[in-house]
Amino acid sequence: MATKLRDVNDWRSQPSPKWAEPELKGHKIPGYRYHSEEFWKQEWENMWTKVWLLLGRASDIPEVGDYQMEEVGPESFLMVRQEDNSIRAFYNVCQHRGARLIFNDLGTVDAFTCPYHGWRWEIDGTLTFALDPEDFPEGDPCGKLTLEEVKCEEFAGFIWINMNPEAETLKEYLGPIWDDWNSYGFDTWKRYQAMRVRAPINWKVVLDNFNESYHLPAVHPESDTTIEENYKWTQFDLSDEGHNRMIMKAGVPSRSLQGKNVPLLREPLISTLKMWGLDPADFEGREYETREAIQKAKREEGKKRGYTHYDNLRDDQLTDAYHYTIFPNFAVTAWADGFHFLRAIPHPTDPTKCVFDNWWYASQPEGETAPVFTAAGPIDRDAEVDLDVFDYGEKSLGFAIDQDMGVTAGQQLGFRSRGFNGVYLSGQERRIRRYHEVIDEYIEGKRPLKGN
- Closest among 377, 358, 411 to 198, alpha carbons compared: 358
Cα 354–Cα 360–Cα 366 angle in degrees, nearest 5: 160
- The length of the chain in residues reads 452
How many Å apart are CA 76 and CA 348, to the nearest integer?
A: 10
Please report the pLDDT score of residue 352 as a whole number: 97
Please report the pLDDT score of residue 7 as a whole number: 57
Please report the pLDDT score of residue 4 as a whole number: 46
Please report the pLDDT score of residue 163 as a whole number: 98
**Quick check: 143 pLDDT over 90?**
yes
Range scoring the smallest mean pLDDT among 201-205, 213-217, 352-356, 391-395: 213-217
Please report the pLDDT score of residue 3 as a whole number: 39
Segment 241-297, tens digit of pLDDT: 999 999 999 999 988 888 888 889 999 899 999 999 999 999 999 999 999 999 999
Please report the pLDDT score of residue 399 as a whole number: 86
Mean pLDDT of 80-89: 98
Range scoring the smallest mean pLDDT among 40-54, 150-164, 291-305, 363-377: 363-377
Question: Is the separation of the CB atoms in 324 and 332 below 8 Å?
Answer: yes
Question: Is the separation of the CB atoms in 77 and 89 below 8 Å?
Answer: yes
Please report the pLDDT score of residue 36 as a whole number: 98
Give the DSSP letter of residue 18: P
**Quick check: 369 pLDDT over 90?**
no
Q: Per-residue b/e over 348-367, b at no fewer than 16 CB within 10 Å?
A: eeebbbbbbbbbbbbbbbee
Percent of the chain with pLDDT over 90: 85
CA within 13 Å, CB half, 86? 8
- Closest among 194, 192, 190, 105 to 397, alpha carbons compared: 194
CA distances from 178 to 185, 249, 389 (A): 12, 22, 30
Please report the pLDDT score of residue 9 as a whole number: 60
**Quick check: 217 pLDDT over 90?**
no
How many Å apart are CA 13 and CA 9, to the nearest integer?
A: 8
Beta-bridged to residue 153, according to DSSP, are: 160
Mean pLDDT of 135-142: 97
Tell me the pairing of strands 321-326 and 244-248.
antiparallel
In the chain the domains, ranked by start, together with CATH numbers, are 11-38+176-443 (3.90.380.10), 52-162 (2.102.10.10)
Please report the pLDDT score of residue 452 as a whole number: 44
Q: Coil, strand, or helix at residue 10? A: coil
How many Å apart are CA 193 and CA 167, to the nearest integer?
A: 32
Report the 10 Å Cβ neighbour count for 415: 20
**Quick check: 8 pLDDT over 70?**
no
Please report the pLDDT score of residue 450 as a whole number: 57
Bond preceding residue 176 cis, omega within 30 of 0 = no
Tell me, rounded to whole angstroms, the distance of Cα 180 from its chain centroid.
14
Range scoring the smallest mean pLDDT among 8-22, 86-100, 140-154, 426-440: 8-22
**Quick check: 154 pLDDT over 80?**
yes
